[in-house]
Chains A and B, each alone.
Chain A
């Protein structure tokens, strides 16, 4: 059984990570589809899918959508019991849900939800999207409704933000300066020093005092909720480290994505996690495996220089075309060799058993048939 087939049949969580533009969302959706076909109840969390793929998964609206069985199993040959649900990440709504969960009462909840600083955190803070992807994963896990949850991770500015995002947010919420600032109002006596007051006033000159007021109001409203957030972040970390949580690193063979993939692989290892499978999309086919590129180049040059064996306008044109074809083959053989080498370089940095290669496809993947085809390439045959 192939590695990815084992993941879709046995793993509880599959996290697809990698830089943008390497087919990560498509890979996640294809793996989810294979999981459903194997008879499992599957959820796939997508992040900003291309529009046509979103439509295919029934994500036209904002709500979570179960893809009807007759659409992902048109021939009725998939294992019984499978279900496929696609979700689009809504970071702000997910964050609101967290606030709701951990606020002491409706008043605290409303004070936070209406605060402008909170809206900035929920909507725009770098890392929020990553954190909320993990939060959503945890929610789905806790619900017990799914055997397999496949998560597409955001094409982050900073690779692997999703691993650090909870810690970063907690650091933000724990900010010492603003905690001290709130003390006077909370305890009824002044703790904040004059220097600190002056500092905050100066900051106010830069960003406007209204903004400072919002921040202070937020920290006041948030009081008492940090522990809940911290516990939750720990729970997410535990889930990510669980033995049936797996990481699939998706890359393309281009230099920039390879460099990113190597970086990802190292960072995943730094976090004590492991890459279980490595997927390379958009790989050029190797038309002449093991071919001697120099021989092909030599042949192309010789044919171009010498022309046809028995000259004549037709024969010369045929010789030119043949020389061009040989040169093209040599170019593509070189590309294939270079891509192979680059992928081996990433594979060495992971404990993944080799690279699963998805060739450059003639058409973009946006219907279920095409997803199925990718899923087959990724996971191999079902038995």
Chain B
């Protein structure tokens, strides 16, 4: 399927995964690929520390849009600003300023479990409904936090019976529960522990949050062009047969690389196969990026992403089940 069709499945895509799997890079990659396919895209960061600036080559992010290129914007949301904005929008300016000034916000946010997360999700929901972009990519908090982040509406529904915040939780919960509006794209690595963890996270998200899962991105796969096979003897024999003048140092290094790539590739195959068995979701494989993560690398990854999506069968994407 083509990328525009892929992105039409739901307007909000939450990119989630354990720390170190390259979730932020994948969020930037998806956004870039979608923007190139002609969609207007907004990337949203919610943790206050962002690798997005490096990915896009932009300075520090703010609560308002930073334009990366036409059709691609990025912003950093924070709960305090979201709350003040939200209260102001309901004619409660006096409370909002007082909350902020007296430090009572901390008390209130603590009293209501998941309140900060609700405020962030409510802001995302507002962005979704106001149609600021065709696609909103959320760079979610790291794994364990991603589950509690997305569970916040349920927690609040249990804890708080009434109040304006409760109605926000209800609205956010309906956004998360609707596969035509929101889905989660999980990111992992082709290694044992990350595979175990992504499987656990996937089931926790489906069972406890009830959010639809999009394809799983297997990040940092060995590039196809990295060759391996045969071992040291074959390396030397090939060089001799082709008549390439290589030193012993070269040959030793080539043999070591051959061994390294061969070993890693075997692990990768095994883990991807295991992931496929344990988690029946479509997969997108992104290559390990040998260059520094920045706009050029993200651009390469976006091309790889688009090519991988082209290989997905349309009905395999949740939210597009018809």
Residues of chain A whose beta carbon lies under 8 Å from any beta carbon of chain B:
19-22, 48, 50-52, 116-117, 120-121, 123-126, 155, 157-159, 168, 171-172, 175-178, 199, 202-212, 214-215, 252, 254-257, 259-260, 263, 285, 287-288, 291, 299, 303, 307-310, 314-316, 318-319, 321-322, 324-329, 331-332, 334-335, 338, 360, 362-364, 366
Contact = CB atoms under 8 A, between A and B. Distances in A.
Nearest to B237: A318
Given A310-B243, A321-B227, A362-B263, A172 B256 contact: no
B287 to A, nearest CB: 11
B10 interface: no
Given A206-B165, A364-B193, A332 B20 contact: no
Interface string B197-239: 1000000000000000000000000010111101000010111
B225 A327 contact: yes
A158 B49 contact: yes
B92 interface: yes
Contact of B242 (A116, A215, A303): A303
A21 B114 contact: no
Interface residues of B, number: 82
B304 to A, nearest CB: 16
B253 interface: yes
A57 B112 CA distance: 36
Interface stretch (B56-64, B130-138, B155-163, B310-318): B155-163
A172 to B, nearest CB: 5
A332 B291 CA distance: 10
Nearest to A202: B95
B235 A325 contact: yes
Nearest to A290: B249
A208 B165 contact: yes
Contacts of A252: 20
A322 B111 contact: no
Contacts of B108: 203, 206-207, 215
A56 to B, nearest CB: 13
B273 interface: no
A305 B223 CA distance: 21
Contacts of B54: 255-256, 259
17 contacts: A20-B19, A20-B142, A21-B20, A117-B110, A126-B116, A175-B103, A199-B98, A203-B95, A208-B162, A211-B112, A211-B163, A256-B22, A256-B25, A256-B54, A288-B253, A307-B242, A363-B192
B189 to A, nearest CB: 9
A338 B292 contact: yes
A140 B258 CA distance: 48
B141 interface: yes
A203 B292 CA distance: 48
Contact of B107 (A172, A205, A256, A303): A172
A199 B145 CA distance: 32
B22 to A, nearest CB: 8
B243 A309 contact: yes
Interface in B73-109: 87, 92, 94-95, 98-99, 102-104, 106-108
Given A21-B20, A206-B165, A207-B111, A328 B225 contact: yes
A98 B150 CA distance: 30
